[in-house]
Amino acid sequence: MVRCGSVWFRKYGNFIDNLRLFTRGGSGGMGYPRLGGEGGKGGDVWVVAHKKMTLKQLKDKYPQKRFVAGEGANSRVNALKGSRGKDCEIPVPVGISVTDENGKIIELNKEKDRILVAEGGLGGKLLTNFLPLKGQKRVIHLDLKLIADIGLVGFPNAGKSSLLSQVSHAKPAIADYAFTTLQPELGKIVYNDFRQISVADLPGLIEGAHMNKGMGHKFLKHIERTRQLLFVVDISGFQLSSQTQYRTAFETIILLTKELELYKEELQTKPVLLAVNKMDLPGAQDMFHVLMNQLQNPKDFLHLFKKNMIPERTVEFQHIIPISAITGEGIEELKNYIRKSLDEHANQENGAYHKKQLLNLQISNTISYNEPPPKNGVTSPR
């Protein structure tokens, strides 16, 4: 944990977001034909969600990635009913998607949520000629859709990694080329009052990400499970390479919005903040004034785009903060606005929840009031 100004920041490295596992249920126990004894059933393999588990911890603890349940006990003279084999539990982080060989997907979103992935075989009995059955074999895929309060979103080289290092004193890869962040970087901002806000620095998007170009879907799936988004935009614009078109800061914002919309429209319902980075560059203030005018009147500038590049609706940012990840300008303000935005949104959600509960109560009372009184004091059966 690293002290940074008014906050602490805890850094997590070597992030893993998917694993392939082999699972097998335990074989059943042998029956006892002469006395009609039944063998014990083999143990089952379960996937169980735990808040403090990560896929990296799972991989480190079980490098073979093989999970086999215990075998059922054989029937014998002094124990005709064989005991059941021991179940095997695979601990996984909350927010995991489990996909089996048939493509069936089940998500474990709460602590102690569980799913049976490989059933144990039956013990030997009359029905099986007292011979035991083998347990199921299954290959499963674990896929983590990252859960974080804030997800940093931007084109490559927008300065997300530099911003992370400024906020946290962490050491993400930083260089003067596009793709330096190739996997999510996770961390937590812990304020002086011990309030914690989790932050995810995600790999940079490129145009066409919704079609799985660049990091594509590997990036976009993580955005689904962040509470809010923080767009990080280079005030001087962006150009991926000499073969691609230069984009201004305003064009970058429009294209980021379109990529999210094309991947999944629901992403546009998330609250979004905007950090305009690299304000230490010459002429940055003038470019920022131009950008603010464009953001306040976006429809006046959409004619500059091709029709297929224009999103159905433009983003309304909760807060717009000019920053410089190099000089530290605006960093403290950004931290404060992140916290403020999360609190505002939480209050709105709580208010909406209480209104819904009150409405349901009013409807319930209305239905009870309109019911006819029972005849002769006896409630008629329904």
| 345-370 pLDDT, tens digit each | 888 877 776 777 777 777 766 765 55
C-alpha distance from residue 305 to each of 252, 298, 310 (Å): 11, 11, 7
Looking at residue 373, what is its pLDDT? 60
Mean pLDDT of the chain: 81
Looking at residue 285, what is its pLDDT? 96
Looking at residue 183, what is its pLDDT? 58
Amino acid identity at 335: K
Contact yes or no for 235/288 (Cβ under 8 A): yes
CA dihedral 132, 135, 137, 143 (to 10 degrees): 180
Please state the rounded mean pLDDT for residues 142-149: 80
Looking at residue 364, what is its pLDDT? 67
| Least confident span in 65-74, 106-115, 187-196 | 187-196
Q: What is the pTM of this model?
A: 0.66
Look at residue 40 and give its three-state secondary structure. coil
Looking at residue 73, what is its pLDDT? 97
Of residues 167 and 84, more confidence is placed in 84
Looking at residue 382, what is its pLDDT? 43
Contact yes or no for 42/124 (Cβ under 8 A): no
Of residues 11 and 340, more confidence is placed in 340
Looking at residue 375, what is its pLDDT? 57
Of residues 197 and 279, more confidence is placed in 279
Looking at residue 315, what is its pLDDT? 84
- Residue 205: band (very low, low, confident or very high) from pLDDT cuts 50, 70, 90: low
Which DSSP symbol is given to 21? E
* pLDDT > 90: percent of the chain: 41
pLDDT in tens, 208-240: 444 444 444 556 777 777 889 999 999 998 877
- Residue 374: band (very low, low, confident or very high) from pLDDT cuts 50, 70, 90: low
Looking at residue 9, what is its pLDDT? 38
The tokens of 197 are what? Answer: 């806000």
Dist CA 13 CA 19 (whole Å): 17
C-alpha distance from residue 123 to each of 28, 77, 87, 127 (Å): 4, 16, 15, 10
Looking at residue 14, what is its pLDDT? 54
Looking at residue 203, what is its pLDDT? 64
Looking at residue 151, what is its pLDDT? 86
Which DSSP symbol is given to 125? -
pLDDT in tens, 98-114: 998 888 889 898 899 99
